[in-house]
Amino acid sequence: MNRSEIRWNDEAREKILSDSDKLLRDTVLELADSMTGEDSDAIFAELNGRLKVHFIDYETGPDIRKYADAIAAHELSVTE
């Protein structure tokens, strides 16, 4: 077996991604409810703080800023 063959199988990969998306979605929705009226920077910091404890090598990206800005601007729809 080669090094490149050591990897998660497709089902596990999909589960990992699905779990990550759910964590992000739940966190964003929770902060949309609990941080109403806060500025984008405070929401951004809280999002990062809550997410980084769940991931190895977590690094923030522009997607997290996008969600913080949407929460601060009341542009987040909590319905499907």
- Structural domain tally of the chain? 1
**19 assigned to some structural domain:** yes
Burial-class residue 44 by CB neighbours within 10 Å (0-12, 13-18, 19+): buried
Please compute the mean of the pLDDT values over residues 23-30 and round it to a whole number.
96
* Residue 60 falls inside a structural domain: yes
- Kindly state whether residue 2 falls inside one of the protein's structural domains: no
**Residue 23 near residue 51 (C-beta atoms within 8 A):** yes
* Domain contains 37: yes
Give the range of the structural domain holding residue 23, as residue numbers without chain letter: 9-72
How many C-beta atoms lie closer than 10 Å to residue 43's C-beta? 24
In a domain, 68, yes or no: yes
**Is 80 contained in some domain?**
no
45-73 residue pLDDT tens: 999 999 999 999 999 989 999 999 999 99
In a domain, 77, yes or no: no
pTM: 0.86
Residue 4 lies in a domain: no
